[in-house]
A and B are shown apart, each in its own frame.
Chain A
Amino acid sequence: MSPATLLRRLLLAVPTMFGVAVVVFVLLRVVPGDPIAMMIPGEATPEDVARLRESYGLDKSILHQFVLYLGQLVQGDFGVSISLKQDVLELVLGRLPATLELAFVAITLSVTCGFALALAATFWTGSWIESVVDGINSIALAIPEFLWAMLLILAFAVLMPLFPISGRIDPMRATAFTTQFYLLESIVRGEFGLARELLGHLALPAISLALPLIAVIARVLKSSLQEVMVQDYILLARVKGFSDLRILTREALPNALLPTITLTGVHFIFLVGGTVLVELIFAYPGIGNMLFGAASNRDLPLIQGVTIVFALLFILLNIAIEMTYALVNPRLRR
């Protein structure tokens, strides 16, 4: 994809981001419930309340607030969190790496398992292996992430305590890191024991997130592969004398990738969206988890901040998917 197209894509994202900002703003303000009231200790005077309200800009008219809000957003000022008393942007960026690592591990897991299942089902098409893969897919697709998370908790908390079911790492060990990218840092520094522990905590949340995507990828890729395998050029490859394995992986797979990317792209976005719930269930300290606290406290600036960051993530992910598509498609490469 040329830089010009990339730029155009990013610019097109602006109106969508604007829409997101509007929706969040509206949702939070057109509703009953006074965040200031929730923060005030009982003995505060009305003047204190008014002053607090003023400092958050909540005393102005809705339209005025909106304009202020937009202005601040554009400058990168997301305001200060009402409940945590810190700069929203800092808070969000502080927790973002955790969510990114979780999403990354989940996506990697999805792609490798999905591909493996699809390739196996196609290579041994018509056998019991394909039936098993189809069965796994149907079940994985039908059960939403939330329930998978519950099932995993049941399995690993009670039946087989193999993985921890909450948190990211033992809080004591957290101080050993300089960045918030714990997993990345531990690998780069070669501390594999630490990395393994981190992965242990990531395992269950990542699996919960990955299962639906694995099923989607496996199903779509298998169907794509089977369509490709009956094409003339595969016949020619066979006549050239290549082994079945090579034909599947070298000749067929690249052709099956394109429709697969188109059809599964949106599910990657769902996966990232699913981190919101999964982080809560497994008490994993990412931005999804932070959203819940913010929601319980009616912390408007923080809710806004997290929502906008998520929207941005989705848009970037969308662009990444389009770029991958353009890269794989030889017709678009020149």
Chain B
Amino acid sequence: MPALLANPRFAFGAFVLLSLVLVAAFAPWLAPHDPMEQSLLNQLLPPRWAKGGDPAFLLGTDTLGRDLLSRMIYGTRPAILVMVAGATLSGIAGVVLGMLAGFFGGWLDALVSRVVDTFMSFPPMLLAIVLAAAMGPGLTTVVISVVLIGWTRFCRVVRGEVLALREQEFVTSARTIGVSRARILFHELLPNLLPLVIVLLGLEMGRAIVVEAIMSFIGFSSSGLATWGAIIADARSYINQAWWAMTYPIVAIIVAVLGLNALGDGLRQATDPVLQR
């Protein structure tokens, strides 16, 4: 554990994740304004330090007079929701199917592999869009999109690992003693898979944030809600008058993705016995 904290990548990633969670949790107290509050008087104000800026609106306002800082702060909430829910569900689906396919082999494996191939034949955004077209916009749609796009990654990796682990002694000896296959799956294989899965989760959370941003950018996420993607979409339309509005969410997403990737990397470095030298 201490080795984990000392790893600079993990530390950075954990810091980012923690900050996001805290900001999202305490958003109502942190945000100076209501993110939805429009004000025709204060349209397109530049940030506080620029000429014409208003100290009440630290980061400036958008075309409807809404405070950008508050919108950014509240934007962490849908981001965290999609990130955690999407990555977790995606992980569960992928790990379960991957374990079953790898362990039992045969027709089950063939079937799952076909399904994985089929899903991977779709451009990821295409799946999301088709789904949104069918289900209508909303955070649920986004979460399901994340799951549909991401589960194959977990499935492939876990299946490969299980195929390798299956032949190892601790599994074959468990079989000879007569341990039921379900027990083997849960008690023997799963603990060995966990480090890998946790690393993948970190990466998947980063991807989930991007999917959410894209979906709200397109307009398939919850309309009106202050999400980072929506801020980008709005800002695009008035980019020539207020270019700064687009930079905040872009920077925020980049930092979040870099942080979550670093988290995954750090975890992998700390848990991979080969790299521990």
Contact = CB atoms under 8 A, between A and B. Distances in A.
Interface of A: 15-16, 19-20, 22-24, 27-28, 30-33, 142-144, 146-147, 150-151, 153-154, 157-158, 270, 272-277, 280, 288, 291-292, 294-296, 298, 303, 306-307, 310-311, 314-315
B240 interface: yes
A154 B257 CA distance: 19
Contacts of A277: 125, 214
Interface string B110-137: 0000110111011111100111111110
Given A143-B254, A150-B250, A272 B129 contact: no
Contact of A276 (B129, B232, B258): B129
27 contacts: A15-B114, A16-B114, A16-B117, A16-B121, A19-B117, A27-B130, A27-B134, A28-B133, A31-B135, A33-B135, A33-B136, A142-B258, A143-B254, A147-B257, A150-B232, A150-B250, A154-B246, A157-B239, A158-B239, A158-B243, A270-B123, A272-B123, A273-B124, A274-B123, A292-B218, A303-B130, A311-B122
Interface string B42-53: 000000000000
Nearest to A272: B123
B217 to A, nearest CB: 7
A295 B122 contact: no
B217 A146 contact: yes
Nearest to A308: B121
A292 B217 CA distance: 12
A272 B135 CA distance: 25
Q: Interface of chain B, helix or strand or loop or mixed? A: helix
Contacts of B118: 16, 19-20, 22-23
Nearest to A275: B123
A147 B257 CA distance: 11
B180 to A, nearest CB: 33
B240 A32 contact: no
Contacts of B205: none
B130 A19 contact: no
B230 interface: no
B82 to A, nearest CB: 15
Best-buried of B124, B129, B213 by chain A (most CB within 10 Å)? B129
B90 interface: no
Contacts of A276: 123, 125-126, 129
B120 to A, nearest CB: 8
A33 B232 CA distance: 28
Contact of A31 (B114, B124, B134, B236): B134
Contacts of A33: 133-136
Given A16-B121, A142-B257, A144-B210, A154 B243 contact: yes
Best-buried of B121, B239, B250 by chain A (most CB within 10 Å)? B121
Nearest first, the 7 closest Cβ-Cβ pairs linking A and B are A273-B123, A19-B118, A31-B134, A295-B133, A158-B243, A311-B121, A276-B125
Given A31-B134, A33-B136, A154 B247 contact: yes
Q: Interface of chain A, helix or strand or loop or mixed? A: helix
Contacts of A314: 121, 123
B121 A315 contact: yes
Contacts of A19: 114-115, 117-118, 121
Given A158-B239, A277-B214, A295-B129, A150 B121 contact: no
B114 to A, nearest CB: 6
Interface of B: 114-115, 117-119, 121-126, 129-136, 207, 210, 213-214, 217-218, 232, 236, 239-240, 243, 246-247, 250, 253-254, 257-258, 261
Nearest to B135: A31
A19 B207 CA distance: 25
Contacts of B214: 146, 277
Given A144-B210, A147-B210, A158-B240, A20 B122 contact: yes
A20 B118 CA distance: 6
Given A277-B125, A277-B214, 8 more contacts: A142-B257, A146-B210, A146-B214, A153-B246, A154-B250, A273-B124, A303-B133, A310-B126
A147 B254 contact: yes
A23 B131 CA distance: 11
Contacts of B236: 150, 153
Contacts of A315: 121
A307 B126 contact: yes
Contacts of A151: 250
A296 B137 CA distance: 10
B86 to A, nearest CB: 15
Nearest to A273: B123
B210 A295 contact: no
B265 to A, nearest CB: 10
A196 B158 CA distance: 48
Contacts of A296: 133
A160 to B, nearest CB: 12
A157 B134 contact: no
B19 to A, nearest CB: 18
B126 A27 contact: no
B191 to A, nearest CB: 30
A263 B258 CA distance: 23
Contacts of B114: 15-16, 19
A153 B121 contact: no
A247 B118 CA distance: 43
B126 to A, nearest CB: 5
A144 B129 contact: no
A307 B128 CA distance: 12
A278 to B, nearest CB: 10
B133 A298 contact: yes
